[in-house]
Structure 1
């Protein structure tokens, strides 16, 4: 029997996060019911909690947060699509609607018609997945191979974001890579660059904790972000900017070698940013944006299952959902935490 209500983590506005009972809607024929095991707290979740908005996506009504998760199918889609009941799954949180905007057909992540779990970009908002049970289209579900545990599988979505950003740089084998910002996405970029055969990976962060995590997943050395001269001296073939602030982007531009590539995955605030952009001209740097992902989550799942992608050190805390406010508080302290998981 599918329950009529479930426990969820709901943002009601800036500074107003509640664990409460919500109605669980009846699944459509193409939808399954998933019992959530773990949910990873993302930077966007933190923004909705602290500020009631992520950029131009402003909360206009209470919204269930969360788009990083793993769980078990408890009721399969009645139309026969997707994994069967009992299957362990992770989730691709995007669905696509028609849009008249122009974008490359092979890059649907760039379509403005994308809806993402736990997003206030549209109204009514797209409810998220931080709930004990959720109803999702079967097309979102990705069955997990044997040997991949649910806790690690909760990292599949952020690892796919990192995989997409690293792949934007092209071949990394034998190259020197600089990762600016060693939070969860930066650390996952380090792990993916290590898997791709980078000969040297330099991770940068203001805090020693994230630098230790970066070392554990493959960084060959680390630098305190405050030592801007040391960062500039890295002379990297490829730079992944994952700090999401203009200081980090400035360091990324200075740390790239002549003719190098800078991939920008850290989401900067709206508006103009004060960065030394002249370096991009005089050094003929390639500046590439990176936004979400497409089907890379399938490669991530395979790599997690076969052990070629080492990410376990990125998870630093697992907190029961009933203590969600504590979990969000810990996740908001970059000096204290990496990826914080809610346990459902």
Structure 2
């Protein structure tokens, strides 16, 4: 069975054993390459099979996306639905420092399965994971009726966050860096950001992006941090102080009122097929994983979301 690993020679498709863990075996149909995967590969992170955005088909023909969070289900955060905050030693994510889904087949725990609703093709369903990150961030914003939303950053998370807020009925704009991202935003009915917003979502993860978030947020407004910072977050001090801005962190996805963010993200994608057609810009066979990673890391290539298929 084939699997994608990072090696001293870079990204390679290697042979691995068939999955034998308890749970349901899926034949993997789609695997998204995340910015984290690209950063890990560039940084030489090795020792596990990559891939935390993936979906597949069970032996009975049913299709599922995978919610890759490993959690205990028993600690206080898990009982409250905040599985992303699990305190157990085994807490983590498939494909991040442990074997993930960039392979021909995988066996996952049944609590990770997200049944696909009608209208969502399993070849597009690897988007459920990043769409869940976006959905969770929009929910963390605690939007009130009539509030305006802006997103800074036109990658997959930014576009998915804008689509999620728009689907929930909010006025949403987005600030992007590249022409192909603007084209994608226009296909989703999302205009350019200008003026003051009640909530600004940081999907850029850069010092200049965060500064722009603070600039776009109205006095007393909120900034939601979806961007990943591996060092101290460079919060713009003076403008944040003068405007009394509130910063809200958001990580992964959870449950609320018995509903999973992943299920709502799947429904979002099923209800608007234009999202997947817009966000997925490149598809490669699994054997071309090295080229797929190169394209995913090259913004000049026009890539937003690059997907692998066995």
Distance in structure 1 (CA, Å) of the matches to 2:245 and 2:42: 36
Matched, 1:321 2:286: yes
Which residue is equivalent to 1:107?
82
Q: Shift of residue 308 of structure 1?
A: 8.5
Structure 1 residue ranges without an equivalent (≥5): 1-5, 54-58, 75-84, 121-125, 223-232
Residues 238-258 of structure 1, C-alpha deviations (whole Å, 9 max, x = no match): 100010111111111111001
Distance 1:48 1:101, change over 3 A: farther
Structure 2 residue ranges without an equivalent (≥5): 255-259
Which residue is equivalent to 2:93?
116
> Rg: which structure is higher?
1
Q: Shift of residue 334 of structure 1?
A: 2.1
Which residue is equivalent to 1:264?
225
Residues 133-184 of structure 1, C-alpha deviations (whole Å, 9 max, x = no match): 1111122112212332112222111000000001111225433221111100
Which residue is equivalent to 1:123?
none
- SS of the aligned residue for 2:299 comes to coil
The structure with higher relative contact order (CA 8 Å, sep 6+) is: 2
Q: Shift of residue 273 of structure 1?
A: 4.1
Distance in structure 1 (CA, Å) of the matches to 2:19 and 2:236: 51
Q: How does 1:102-181 map to 2 (within 5 A)?
A: 105-113=80-88, 114-120=91-97, 126-171=98-143, 173-181=145-153
Q: Is the 8 A contact 1:172 1:197 kept in 2?
A: no
Distance 1:172 1:187, change over 3 A: farther
Instruction: Report the structure, 1 or 2, having the larger helix content.
Output: 2
Q: How does 1:1-344 map to 2 (within 5 A)?
A: 6-12=1-7, 16-28=10-22, 31-53=23-45, 59=46, 62-74=47-59, 85-97=60-72, 105-113=80-88, 114-120=91-97, 126-171=98-143, 173-199=145-171, 201-221=172-192, 234-270=195-231, 272-294=232-254, 295-307=260-272, 310-335=275-300, 336-344=302-310
Q: Is the 8 A contact 2:2 2:16 kept in 1?
A: yes
TM-score by length of 1: 0.82
Q: Is the 8 A contact 2:134 2:164 kept in 1?
A: yes
Distance in structure 2 (CA, Å) of the matches to 1:41 and 1:71: 15
Distance in structure 2 (CA, Å) of the matches to 1:129 and 1:66: 5
- SS of the aligned residue for 2:170 comes to coil
Residues 77-121 of structure 1, C-alpha deviations (whole Å, 9 max, x = no match): xxxxxxxx221111110111389898993422123432201112x
Distance in structure 2 (CA, Å) of the matches to 1:112 and 1:247: 33
Higher alpha-carbon deviation: 65-74 or 94-103: 94-103
Q: Shift of residue 274 of structure 1?
A: 3.9
- SS of the aligned residue for 2:123 comes to helix
Residues 232-283 of structure 1, C-alpha deviations (whole Å, 9 max, x = no match): x52111100010111111111111001111000000122x344422222221
